[in-house]
Structure 1
Amino acid sequence: MASIGSSISSALGVGSGIDTGALVSNLVSAARDPKQQVITSRQNLNSARISALASASSSLDTFADALNSLLSGTGYSGVPASNDPSIAAVSALPGGTPQGLPAQLQVQQLAASRTLATAPDPNVSATSLVGAGTLTLTVGSGTPRDIVLTASSTYADLVSAINASGTGVTASLVTDTQGTRLVMKGATGEANDFSLTADSAALEPFAWSKTGPNANSAFTSVSTAQDAVILLDGVEQHYATNTVDTAIPYLRIDLNKASPNTPVTLATTEPTTSMRDLMVEFVNAYNTLMKALNTATAKGADSSGAGVLNGESSIRDMKRQLSQMTSAALSPTGTYRTLADLGIATNRDGTLTLDTKALDKAMAADPSAITQLLNPSVKSDSNPGLAGLMDKVRDSIQKKDGPLAGAQSKYEALAKSLSEQLEKLSDQMTDYQAQLTKIYTAMETRLTALKATQSYLQQQIDAWNNSDN
């Protein structure tokens, strides 16, 4: 029969080694883990959706930008060319396709700069003195610049001061077997002609007037400042330099020789890549984009097999707008107005198929019309070209108040909400853990007190038993 002491020990669990810290931790985990797992799973799915939407938008940008870059290249637009580069050479400028070609050009006059030179003097060198005083240099209608020289100033000092004046006029000392001469040269263009005035007799040899040399000037004019004069399709135009960038958009014209009454034809060479190649590349790139969207929105047998954007209306809208490209008018008139007219058809999954026989037939019937349809030399709202159409679709899909932007905002807001839910759960579990710790700490205190009472009672019982014996 069990003693009274052993029964009390058994009831109090004395010596059971209960780890109240582990018990509290387990209770908190049991309350927190299921809720945390639900929130975390939603976070993972939401993050995947945000990433997939960003990827879809980025892929659309990549497709549109690549198409623009492709069509702006010389492979599809040709290379600007001159039939007489010795008179005028041409090259394409970045940013667009030269417009208005072919054109007829005549170079009536090249741009030139005012160049002055003194007579060669064997008694002059860089260290020779030039005299004291002030030379005033004036370019066109600009602000006069004073060049102050002292009694110790040399020809080298004069050259350095002119070059440092910031007027665009350069000076140099040229020495050959005849001696040394001072040469001054301005920028090309009539407006860049220059003059020099002297305030002392010592510097009079360096004075020069635009209308001619001063009485005591040592300078001779080697060339006169003048503008380039061209006739472009019969219209006279003047330029300060022999490099013309503004006469024809996106075309640089280098004037190399004046040849009045000699027409030069500026034109564009034939594209090295055909519109057929363009259509093949377009369909392939379009199908790559559409297949990626199909994968993201795929329906699975269960949630684990479905695409992360399954059921997302913004992607359905993107696919819808892309699919409408085949029927969108690229030209308001003509036999061939849409991509469908050129043999492009839409499959059930949204991808495209190109009927190359139909395209070849259209190209053979009117190649110029097909080129202008897909890559017009002058784009407009009614004739945007393939790249322009793609830009319109992209702008519509990515507009600020559109479905795609709305979906991105929705998932970003959900991401913030889920983070807040996790923080709230963490705070709740921290409070719950504190409450449990308080409860079990109090229990341990009471158990300790009971244990002391048990020990005392055990001693009394043992004493009673011994006295009975």
Structure 2
Amino acid sequence: MATDYLNALGASASGLNIRQLTTSLVEADTAARRSAAEKKIASTEVSISALGKVRSQFETLSGAISTVTASSVLKATSSDAALSVSVTDKSLVTEQVTEIEVLQVAQRQVLEFGGFTSADEELGAGSVTIDFGVWYAAEGEEEATTFAQNPSVASSSIAVGEGATLEDLASALSSIPGVTARVLDKGDGTFSLGVVSEPGAGSALRFTVTEASAGNGLARFDTGATNATAQVQAATDAVLSVDGITVARSSNEITDLIPGTTLTVSGTTSAPAKLSVSRDSELAEAAMGYLVEELNNTLKLLGEVTLRAVDGSSSGDLAGDRAVETLKRQLTAMISKPLSGHGDKPVYLSQLGVATNRDGSLSFNASSFQKAFEADPGMFDAMFSDSFSSPTSGVTVTGTLSSAAASGDYAFRIDPVTGEATVGGAQTFAMPGENGQDQYLVLSGDLSGLLVSVESGVTDATIRYGRSFASQLQSLLDGATATNGAIAERETQIEKVAVEQADVLEALDLRATKLESRYLAQFTAMEQAVAKMKSTGTYLENLIAAWNKDS
């Protein structure tokens, strides 16, 4: 067992426990400051944890917004499986019923050049020019032997060198946009070159062959005079009757007949199909209820973490935290704030069955919501969809704006002298539109991305933009949870305090070590002096005793 010589010295001198006394003196010097630093570090850990909960709930609420806004309450249905419809842009869709009959499906032209012995059979040298256009029967003709080139698609040409094979030709043709070619084993000992165009009558193909030497066999691919011998399937447009009006489209995916929807043609119909676009009130109710539920979860958490102690109750982990208190106030204010820019009158959440309770939580009345939705479905749109509109006739508005754009009415003006147009004072870029309209795109400022289309003669108009509740709420959440957002900034501040207090503890440890060394050195010197004095005293006592004995 090791001997504590310092305490042994104390025992033989002053009788004090020097090490215990030293420890007590060092603790008395540092304990208060150490305790304060440790409490601050513990407090920062609690605050960081609470901020993490707030961030997590904000992200959950953000996910709920994404889920609700991604699922449209607009329900599109078709009475015939040969013609389906889906909503692709909620902002352009209106409730309607349209009768559409599919008279003809868009098809690709299919050509077959057969009679080859293998995929590696060599062809004659020369070149093949590929034109895109329409084959049709001219007046007096029974077959489609006349070709009209499509001016919007340039011709292509490929060179066929000496020794080139059927497979080489297929690869060269497939490299041309709008053409697919491959060699097929017929199974009867012969091979064929199959060539396919894009769908649509205007995508048909014409091959014009120039042989390097007359009669070398490459001319078998020439369809310049007629493609009747090679054609397996003709290229056709989709032909539809829309409410009795016949229209044609080059694709079976049609996006411009019913605004905001895509029609998919998979076959002809025996009678007009009814395509209906309507609003699903039950889905709208579920979306609203889901949002209110997540808002309540968020409000509850913010209330708990910022709770201030009353009558001996415990305070929340972030009571008095300015950043979180500010986020709480902003969210509460947003819930009661009117949504402008969605019509002539502002929209309130209370109009959609959402009420604020005395404790700050929200309640949702489904019955009130259904009545409001039935009376004015546009109020629900203000919750989840940004809106662009104009009360001025002959004006349409679209675009994608940043969170900096504020809801409201903006003046559209065309200067009668310069012809330059502005929206809300912001300059625009003019460009030609469709159907004789002119388009003006805002390129800078808060309204950057706004596109205004006006009919000829319109020089003054009112442009209306309304940010949805979901859009405004998402901006608040993004600002709070971003890398440099409010929560991250507060976390950085708190972590800085933790680092500072860790430095304080480290300094106190160093001070304690130095104090201990100093006290031990002083007590050691004291004990040595006391021991010496005790030794001298004992000697004198013994000497006096001896003197007394001799006398």
In the superposition, the TM-score normalised over structure 2's length comes to: 0.61
Which position in structure 2 is the counterpart of 1:141?
154
CA distance, structure 2, for counterparts of residue 464 and residue 206 of structure 1: 145
Relative to structure 1, the CA distance from residue 276 to residue 418 in structure 2 (aligned partners, 3 Å threshold; closer, same or farther) is closer
Provide, for residues 68-117 of structure 1, a one-character-per-residue CA deviation record: whole Å limited to 9, x for no partner: 5235435x332x2223332x222345x85772453455656543333221
Instruction: Supply the AA of the counterpart residue of 1:371.
Output: P
**Cα shift at 1:133:** 2.8
Provide, for residues 196-247 of structure 1, a one-character-per-residue CA deviation record: whole Å limited to 9, x for no partner: 64434434244335x445xxx99623334455566768695744x4233576
Note if 1:99 corresponds to 2:99. Answer: no
- Picking from 68, 92, 101, the partner of 1:70 is 68
**Cα shift at 1:426:** 1.0
CA distance, structure 2, for counterparts of residue 158 and residue 370 of structure 1: 62
CA distance, structure 2, for counterparts of residue 348 and residue 281 of structure 1: 21
CA distance, structure 1, for counterparts of residue 208 and residue 538 of structure 2: 125
CA distance, structure 2, for counterparts of residue 212 and residue 227 of structure 1: 23
Which position in structure 1 is the counterpart of 2:196?
185
* Highest RCO, 1 vs 2 (Cα 8 Å, sep ≥ 6): 1
Note if 1:113 corresponds to 2:108. Answer: yes
CA distance, structure 1, for counterparts of residue 176 and residue 284 of structure 2: 56
In terms of fraction of residues, the more helix-rich structure is: 1
Provide, for residues 29-71 of structure 1, a one-character-per-residue CA deviation record: whole Å limited to 9, x for no partner: 4433432321232233233334434433542442354145235
**Cα shift at 1:305:** 0.9
CA distance, structure 2, for counterparts of residue 177 and residue 406 of structure 1: 74
In terms of fraction of residues, the more strand-rich structure is: 2
**Cα shift at 1:423:** 1.1
Q: Is the 8 A contact 1:244 1:252 kept in 2?
A: yes
Q: SS at the partner of 1:91?
A: strand
Note if 1:129 corresponds to 2:101. Answer: no
Q: Identify the range of structure 1 (181-190 vs 242-251) with the bigger mean alpha-carbon deviation.
A: 242-251
Q: Tell me how large the CA RMSD over aligned residues is.
A: 5.1
CA distance, structure 1, for counterparts of residue 377 and residue 219 of structure 2: 65
**Cα shift at 1:350:** 0.7
Note if 1:175 corresponds to 2:209. Answer: no
Which position in structure 2 is the counterpart of 1:223?
233
Which position in structure 2 is the counterpart of 1:368?
374
CA distance, structure 2, for counterparts of residue 323 and residue 439 of structure 1: 60
Note if 1:420 corresponds to 2:431. Answer: no
CA distance, structure 2, for counterparts of residue 413 and residue 183 of structure 1: 69
Note if 1:348 corresponds to 2:345. Answer: no
* Count of residue pairs the alignment pairs up: 438
Q: SS at the partner of 1:375?
A: helix
Q: SS at the partner of 2:348?
A: coil
Instruction: Supply the AA of the counterpart residue of 2:67.
Output: S
Instruction: Supply the AA of the counterpart residue of 1:99.
Output: V
Provide, for residues 155-203 of structure 1, a one-character-per-residue CA deviation record: whole Å limited to 9, x for no partner: 4565566557887422222425595433222333535746364434434
Counting only pairs closer than 5 Å after superposition, residues 311-322 of structure 1 correspond to structure 2 as 311-322=320-331
Which position in structure 2 is the counterpart of 1:202?
216
CA distance, structure 2, for counterparts of residue 321 and residue 457 of structure 1: 82
Instruction: Supply the AA of the counterpart residue of 1:171.
Output: R
In the superposition, the TM-score normalised over structure 1's length comes to: 0.70
Q: SS at the partner of 2:216?
A: helix
Which position in structure 2 is the counterpart of 1:6?
none
Counting only pairs closer than 5 Å after superposition, residues 268-279 of structure 1 correspond to structure 2 as 268=277, 271=280, 273=282, 275-279=284-288
CA distance, structure 2, for counterparts of residue 11 and residue 256 of structure 1: 103
Relative to structure 1, the CA distance from residue 457 to residue 47 in structure 2 (aligned partners, 3 Å threshold; closer, same or farther) is closer
Q: Is the 8 A contact 1:64 1:390 kept in 2?
A: no
Which position in structure 2 is the counterpart of 1:4?
none
Q: SS at the partner of 1:117?
A: strand
Q: Is the 8 A contact 2:323 2:487 kept in 1?
A: yes
Which position in structure 1 is the counterpart of 2:303?
294
**Cα shift at 1:322:** 4.0
Relative to structure 1, the CA distance from residue 68 to residue 162 in structure 2 (aligned partners, 3 Å threshold; closer, same or farther) is closer
> What residue ranges of structure 2 are gaps of 5+ in the alignment?
1-7, 132-152, 388-406, 409-463
User: Sequence identity, in percent?
Assistant: 17
